[in-house]
């Protein structure tokens, strides 16, 4: 197993900046205000040929256990327990604070090897304050600048010295190779719809920070998981509000991270609050997923709070079919994360949607169906000029994409294309799957002679 290293410290000392530098990508959100990171995030990192798993954590804060900050602290303590080595970071520009001293004692009590980092030491003021870090009793401080990449050679030496040589020398699989056979699944929805609670229930642990406050999740956090032998890379994402309401720069970063998770996913579970179902924003998110060409499953959450469940579910199904005709037949599963109801059914529906999303139809079967569809409803003749549709082929899957060869592609109306898409969906079982149908004009063999 690769070495696991957790970066810990009070808020706004530069933990996420160092995380992004070592993983080589801007995975963690970074902002000048404190407390941006809330859930712990993992990434494959390397430094000087040394490969390891890095854990970014929320800033340690002295607050009551029931508060949001207290719940964030529990996430960080879980990361410390999971890690083989801790990088304890302070802000050298500000010098030591009582919170630094308090949490240095906490890290010492955990009994894990610790490397002490004095970040933001590139300025004269920061360099002068580095010596104060000796008072923490965590060994020699290493002056670094996460933003400018200074001091990483000394950091490499310290990690190598603190880690077992055999463990540190292991080369973990890079992220793309580790997940190349995994189903990429994103959990999305409006704020406070129950996304993080659902993720925790699926994983069977308090992996994501939850609470009554809306907008707790900020980063799109990837988690590797397995369900009945199916490897899954699971993303929990920030809540998506209407664009007009997103004014704060940090929320804009969170929304951009969630949209990026949708683009990188293959299947999307849209979590809809059963108490306020299918509001305009829910439908806009579903339409966005369809436009991105991702397989979609609806999770009707907080089902334990619904009365008259059978009639309510029929009503929701009718409303869904009317509101989202572009993904007709999409699977909807009523779930309760708190009571762990129907969680297996939800993931089974996601796996079934994933298989449909990858489905291919033989060309012969496709054209037999096309011949029958044209006989039932011939294409229109705009301006008295008949459109000839010659044949069809599937050019791609993920999502299912078809090419329709016709004599006059630009005159083929969208209504007729919808007729063909609905026929494909019904005949070949593409329920709830986005379908792409592209008309292509065939060449006239006599055009050059004329």
Q: What is the CATH number of the domain that holds 388?
A: 3.30.300.20
Give the pLDDT confidence of 332-363 residue by residue, as tens digits. 999 999 899 999 999 999 999 999 999 999 99
Q: Which of 357, 383, 408 is the last residue of a domain?
A: 357
Q: Identify whether residues 351 and 431 lie together within a single domain.
A: no
**With 50 as the cut, is the pLDDT of residue 178 above it?**
no
How many residues make up the chain in this entry?
Answer: 450
Q: What was the pLDDT predicted at 28?
A: 58
Residue 39 pLDDT grade (very low, low, confident, very high; cuts 50, 70, 90): low
Domain boundary among 168, 189, 208: 168
What does the pLDDT read at residue 188? 92
Q: Write the CATH number for 285.
A: 3.40.50.300
299 contacts 271 by C-beta, under 8 angstroms: yes
The predicted structure's pLDDT at residue 311:
92
- For residue 72, pLDDT over 50 is answered with yes
In this structure, are 84 and 106 located in the same domain?
A: yes
Does residue 223 sit in the same domain as residue 312?
yes
Q: In the listed set 329, 357, 385, which residue is the last one of a domain according to the structure?
A: 357
* Of 56-60, 123-127, 340-344, 364-368, minimum mean pLDDT range: 123-127
Q: How far apart are CA 2 and CA 167, in angstroms?
A: 6
Residue 118 belongs to some domain of the structure: yes
**Is 174 inside any structural domain?**
no
- State whether 88 and 204 are in the same domain: no
The number of distinct structural domains making up the chain is 3
Per-residue pLDDT of 394-406, as tens digits, reads 988 889 999 999 9
- Residue 64: predicted pLDDT: 61
Q: Quick check: helix, strand or coil at residue 62? A: coil
Q: Are strands 3-8 and 142-143 parallel, antiparallel or unpaired?
A: unpaired
Q: What is the mean pLDDT of residues 76-105?
A: 85
Contacts 24+ apart (CB under 8 A), 170-178: 170/1, 170/2, 170/3, 170/51, 171/2, 171/51, 172/2, 172/44, 172/51, 172/52, 172/53, 173/44, 174/44, 175/43, 175/44, 178/44, 178/224
Whether 272 and 384 share a structural domain: no
Instruction: Name the average pLDDT for the chain.
Output: 81
Other CB atoms within 10 Å distance of the CB of residue 381: 11
Give percent above pLDDT 70 in the chain: 81
**Domain extent for 373:** 363-441
pLDDT in tens, 207-243: 655 555 444 555 567 788 899 989 998 888 877 876 6
């Amino acid at each position: 197993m690769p070495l696991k290293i957790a970066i810990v410290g009070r808020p706004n000392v530069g933990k996420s900046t160092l995380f992004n530098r070592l993983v080589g990508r801007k995975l963690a959100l970074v902002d000048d205000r404190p407390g941006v990171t809330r859930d712990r995030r993992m990434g494959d990192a390397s430094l000087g040929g040394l490969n390891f798993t890095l854990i970014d954590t929320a800033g340690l804060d002295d607050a009551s256990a029931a508060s949001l900050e207290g719940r964030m602290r529990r996430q960080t303590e879980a990361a410390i327990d999971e890690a083989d080595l801790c990088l304890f970071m302070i802000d050298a520009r500000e010098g030591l604070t009582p919170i630094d001293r308090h949490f240095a004692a906490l890290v010492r009590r955990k009994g894990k090897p610790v490397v002490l980092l004095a970040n933001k030491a590139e300025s004269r003021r920061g360099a002068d304050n580095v010596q104060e870090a000796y008072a923490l009793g965590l060994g020699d401080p290493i002056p670094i600048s996460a933003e400018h990449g200074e001091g990483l050679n000394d950091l490499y030496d310290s990690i190598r010295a603190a880690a077992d040589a055999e463990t540190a020398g292991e080369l973990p699989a890079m992220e793309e190779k580790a997940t190349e056979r995994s189903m990429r699944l994103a959990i999305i929805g409006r704020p406070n719809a129950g996304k993080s609670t659902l993720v925790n229930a699926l994983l069977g642990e308090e992996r994501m920070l939850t609470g009554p406050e809306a907008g707790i999740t900020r980063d799109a956090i990837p988690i590797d998981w397995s369900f009945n032998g199916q490897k899954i890379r699971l993303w929990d994402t920030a809540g998506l509000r209407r664009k007009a309401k997103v004014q704060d720069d940090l929320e804009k970063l969170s929304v951009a991270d969630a949209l990026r998770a949708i683009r990188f996913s293959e299947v999307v579970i849209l979590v809809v609050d059963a108490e306020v179902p299918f509001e305009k924003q829910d439908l806009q998110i579903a339409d966005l997923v369809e436009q991105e060409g991702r397989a979609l499953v609806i999770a009707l959450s907080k089902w334990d709070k619904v009365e008259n469940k059978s009639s309510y579910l029929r009503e929701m199904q009718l409303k869904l079919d009317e509101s989202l005709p572009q993904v007709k037949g999409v699977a909807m599963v009523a779930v309760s994360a708190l009571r762990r109801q129907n969680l297996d059914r939800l993931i089974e529906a996601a796996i079934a949607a994933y298989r449909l999303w990858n489905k291919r139809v033989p060309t012969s079967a496709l054209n037999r169906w096309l011949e029958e569809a044209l006989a039932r409803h011939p294409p229109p003749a705009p301006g008295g000029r008949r459109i000839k549709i010659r044949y069809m082929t599937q050019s791609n899957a993920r999502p299912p994409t078809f090419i329709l060869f016709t004599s006059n592609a630009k005159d083929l109306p969208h209504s007729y294309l919808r007729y063909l898409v609905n026929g494909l969906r019904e005949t070949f079982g593409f329920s709830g799957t986005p379908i792409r149908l592209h008309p292509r004009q065939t060449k006239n063999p006599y055009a050059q002679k004329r």
